[in-house]
Chain A
Amino acid sequence: MHNDMNINVHHITRVEGHGNIVVNVTNGRIEKLQWQVPEAPRFFEAMVRGQSYEDIQTIVSRICGICSITHSLAATKAVESALGLKVSEQADKLRILMHYSEQLQSHTLHIGYLAAPDFFGAPSVVPLVSRAIDVVKTIVRAHRVANEWSDLLAGRTTHPVTLIPGGLTRTPAEKQLRQLQKTLKDTIPDLKVIADVVLSVAGNIPKFERQTEYVSLKQTNPPTYTFYHGGITSDDNGGKVVPIEKWHNVANEYIVEQSTAKWAKWHRDSYAVGALARFNNNSELLSPMGKEAAKMFDLKKGCCNPFMNTVAQLVECFHIVETSITMIDELLTKGLKAEKVTSSPKAGKGAGCVEAPRGILFHEYEFDKKGNCIAADICIPTNQNHANIQKDFEKLVPEIINESEDSVRLKLEMLVRSYDPCISCSTHMLNVEFVK
């Protein structure tokens, strides 16, 4: 099905428009079963050519509104690697805090607005406003906290304006960080309410399992449940860590006839990225509250139920908030300093990698001696998940083939949504066609 000749074909467009699920059953036999993603290509890798290294993050953050901070961080790290720029420990910590704000924002958006309606049997969050206003308000509050947090560190909630090669444009005031820390402490009870609500409907999470490969970042020195530093690992390579410069060896992209989006594979036919991948590879490093939340849902290392990705995101929310409270302590104890950041153009090539809320993200750029981009290569998590979604379909549908059409449709939609694909409208973007 795939063609090795196309391994070096990389596309950048985020998935846009309608994702399609096609199920074709004739006389009880599955004739056609496909996850399709038609895209409106935006050609970022071509567009950035000729642009200054200083403007790369501004441009590529526009790949995605939901994970713009993540894209900016991956790009900035790649630029810094290409130019040999070092970042101070303080800026590094502030960036991680900034990154956490987006993880919390995106996770609460997905859990609360996109996934939760499925668990309640509702078509969207809107009917829940009248049915469960207190719960909706709790989710809205947690989402707002995450956005205000991004505002403080990134300059705004979407498309950060404080990230520059070599560091940050500004340092927050100690008072602001102290206030943020208090807000985060106050958010923990809200997260517990959300967890209790999700637990109360956890029976609606389909019990489906399929062994697959889970790929994520892994940081061994110091061992950390990482979203930002470290190398690439999978449960298939015995815990080894591949340096991010070698990401092409991991995300082997290929083209299939049925889909306009590219697929990726490493050791098997497909792999999964995202919260469940991070959990499976790093769960022993979760914060105490993260571990507690995992226990609440009986989520254990080696879980291969893709529907549990949403639960893994919830677990990460606790970890993120708890870890951030500690990091703010560390920053305040050391004392914040205003830092002047300078950089100058240089020829070079470099890769940057961070975990987007929905999985591992790679950026790579090459610059000429004037610091202008001559080549770019970006691989987004959603594309790395496509093949895995298709493989899940192939195992899931025969198992539920005797259920009603509505039930099959809902489970397939829920499955795609559980991957939290980088289509902000994924809740209702799915057009399921049954051909009988």
Chain B
Amino acid sequence: MGKPRVAIFDFACCEGCQLQIVNLEEELLDLIGAVDVVEWREALSEQSTEYDIAIIEGSITRPEDEKRLEIIRTRAKILIALGACATIGGVNKLKNNFEMQDVKRCVYGKAADMPHLDTTPTKAVDEVVKVDYKIHGCPIDRKEFTYIIRCLLMGKRPEIPDYPVCVECKAKGNPCLWEYEQVCLGPIIRAGCGARCPSSGFRCFGCRGYVDNPNVNAAKDVIEKYGLTLDVLKSKMVLFGSTQGPTNA
């Protein structure tokens, strides 16, 4: 069997996750040797319609992008959603809290009806097509990216943590940010980032999305303990997953 053909595509996003791939630095040179990168606008001029693995960065905000994504899906054996915009919609979903016409008028004023501004409410990739693997985070974690790609190359299913960020934060011996009056989402957000933000003294804002079964009652207890209301927690939960909240919250 030849090397797997990999293609990387971007939709609405900041391209920070592709940048993390570039940021693999020397390791990227090794990785590029193990696969056949057939399309990657950021780094290559080549284009291809034949690939085994499609990596999708960005969220879907336009009808034409849905069509493009559907075509990519039909061509790819494995489709990977890369980063928060692709896995959960990311900050782009904040747009969905408003009427589209209001959003357009707010930014473009009188030119709001220009046809190229026609956008739909933001969708994560799996709201449009079937996704085989998700690489979480905003941006993605470089180590996790190489781990997942290596697993796929070896035909193994990667293990993605399904426990909250608090687990990793505690393991690092960090003081709890709730003690410092920060509304930290660590108790309900999926780990795997090494609790990067709380380790820097910054609250978890939820870029990896919720764990599969968030312990909502425990989160409520935390809120009560620190004398806050559920609304405060909810206001922080919208940053990276405005429509992706725990269903039983």
B16 contact from A12, A68, A141, Cβ within 8 A: A68
Given contacts A9-B109, A161-B197, contact A123 B239 (CB under 8 A): no
Do B200 and A260 touch across chains, with their CB atoms under 8 A apart? no
Give the Cβ gap from A434 to chain B, nearest Cβ, in Å. Answer: 18
Taking CB atoms and an 8 Å cut-off, the chain A residues in 17-73 that contact chain B are: 38-43, 45-52, 55, 58-59, 62-66, 68
Do A65 and B109 touch across chains, with their CB atoms under 8 A apart? no
Do A124 and B19 touch across chains, with their CB atoms under 8 A apart? no
Give the Cβ gap from B96 to chain A, nearest Cβ, in Å. Answer: 9
Taking CB atoms and an 8 Å cut-off, the chain B residues in 1-21 that contact chain A are: 10-20
In the bound complex, CA of A337 to CA of B141 (Å): 30
B25 contact from A45, A123, A144, A424, Cβ within 8 A: A144
Instruction: Output the residue of B114, B196, B197, B199 with the most chain A CB within 10 A.
Output: B197
Q: Note all chain A residues with C-beta closer than 8 A to B239.
A: 51, 55, 58-59
Do A424 and B19 touch across chains, with their CB atoms under 8 A apart? yes
Q: Note all chain B residues with C-beta closer than 8 A to A427.
A: 42-43, 45
User: By DSSP majority rule, is chain A's interface helix, strand, loop, or mixed?
Assistant: loop
Given contacts A55-B239, A66-B15, A425-B10, contact A124 B45 (CB under 8 A): yes
Q: Is B229 located at the chain interface by the 8 A CB criterion? A: no
Q: Is B48 located at the chain interface by the 8 A CB criterion? A: no
Question: Contact flags (1/0) for A129-144 with B, using CB distance below 8 Å?
Answer: 1000000010011011
The contact size tier of chain B is 35 or more
Closest partner residue, chain B, to A66 (CB atom): B19
Q: Is A179 located at the chain interface by the 8 A CB criterion? A: no
Q: Is B32 located at the chain interface by the 8 A CB criterion? A: yes
In the bound complex, CA of A113 to CA of B19 (Å): 12
Q: Is B205 located at the chain interface by the 8 A CB criterion? A: yes
Q: Note all chain A residues with C-beta closer than 8 A to B49.
A: none
Question: Contact flags (1/0) for B30-42 with A, using CB distance below 8 Å?
Answer: 0010000000011
Question: Contact flags (1/0) for A57-101 with B, using CB distance below 8 Å?
Answer: 011001111101000000000000000000000000000000000
Closest partner residue, chain B, to A161 (CB atom): B202
Do B20 and A158 touch across chains, with their CB atoms under 8 A apart? yes
Q: Note all chain A residues with C-beta closer than 8 A to B201.
A: 162, 169-170
A55 contact from B22, B23, B103, B205, Cβ within 8 A: B205
Give the Cβ gap from A70 to chain B, nearest Cβ, in Å. Answer: 12
Closest partner residue, chain A, to B242 (CB atom): A47
Q: Note all chain A residues with C-beta closer than 8 A to B200.
A: 155-156, 161-162, 169-170
Closest partner residue, chain A, to B140 (CB atom): A158
Do B205 and A58 touch across chains, with their CB atoms under 8 A apart? yes
Do B117 and A42 touch across chains, with their CB atoms under 8 A apart? no
In the bound complex, CA of A10 to CA of B10 (Å): 25
In the bound complex, CA of A86 to CA of B61 (Å): 39
Q: Is A126 located at the chain interface by the 8 A CB criterion? A: yes
Do B15 and A425 touch across chains, with their CB atoms under 8 A apart? yes
In the bound complex, CA of A430 to CA of B201 (Å): 41
Give the Cβ gap from B95 to chain A, nearest Cβ, in Å. Answer: 5
Given contacts A58-B239, A123-B45, A157-B23, contact A40 B14 (CB under 8 A): no
Q: Is B113 located at the chain interface by the 8 A CB criterion? A: no
Q: Is B213 located at the chain interface by the 8 A CB criterion? A: no
Q: Is B150 located at the chain interface by the 8 A CB criterion? A: no
In the bound complex, CA of A137 to CA of B26 (Å): 8
Give the Cβ gap from A166 to chain B, nearest Cβ, in Å. Answer: 13
Given contacts A157-B23, A158-B19, contact A46 B107 (CB under 8 A): yes
Question: Contact flags (1/0) for B59-97 with A, using CB distance below 8 Å?
Answer: 001100100000000000000000000000011101101
Do A12 and B107 touch across chains, with their CB atoms under 8 A apart? yes
B23 contact from A123, A147, A159, Cβ within 8 A: A147
Question: Contact flags (1/0) for B199-242 with A, using CB distance below 8 Å?
Answer: 11110010000000000000000000000000000011001000
Question: Contact flags (1/0) for A295-328 with B, using CB distance below 8 Å?
Answer: 0000000000000000000000000000000000
Q: Note all chain A residues with C-beta closer than 8 A to B25.
A: 140-141, 143-144, 147
Q: Note all chain A residues with C-beta closer than 8 A to B196.
A: 155-156, 161
Question: Contact flags (1/0) for B109-128 with A, using CB distance below 8 Å?
Answer: 11100101101000000000
Do B43 and A126 touch across chains, with their CB atoms under 8 A apart? yes
Do B94 and A48 touch across chains, with their CB atoms under 8 A apart? yes
Do B45 and A428 touch across chains, with their CB atoms under 8 A apart? yes
A65 contact from B19, B104, B117, B205, Cβ within 8 A: B19
Closest partner residue, chain A, to B114 (CB atom): A260
Q: Is B106 located at the chain interface by the 8 A CB criterion? A: yes
Instruction: Output the residue of A10, A41, A129, A170 with the most chain B CB within 10 A.
Output: A41
A129 contact from B19, B29, B42, Cβ within 8 A: B29
Closest partner residue, chain A, to B84 (CB atom): A62
Do A47 and B91 touch across chains, with their CB atoms under 8 A apart? yes
Q: Is B102 located at the chain interface by the 8 A CB criterion? A: yes
The 3 closest A-B pairs by CB, nearest first: A65-B16, A169-B201, A155-B200
Q: Pull 29 A–B residue pairs with CB atoms less than 8 Å apart, ordered by A.
A: A9-B111, A11-B107, A12-B107, A13-B107, A14-B14, A39-B116, A41-B104, A43-B106, A43-B107, A43-B119, A46-B98, A46-B104, A46-B106, A51-B239, A58-B205, A65-B14, A66-B19, A113-B43, A123-B44, A124-B45, A129-B29, A144-B25, A157-B23, A158-B16, A161-B202, A164-B202, A424-B18, A424-B42, A429-B41
| B residues at A contact (CB < 8 Å) | 10-20, 22-23, 25-26, 29, 32, 41-45, 61-62, 65, 90-92, 94-95, 97-98, 102-104, 106-111, 114, 116-117, 119, 138-139, 196-197, 199-202, 205, 235-236, 239
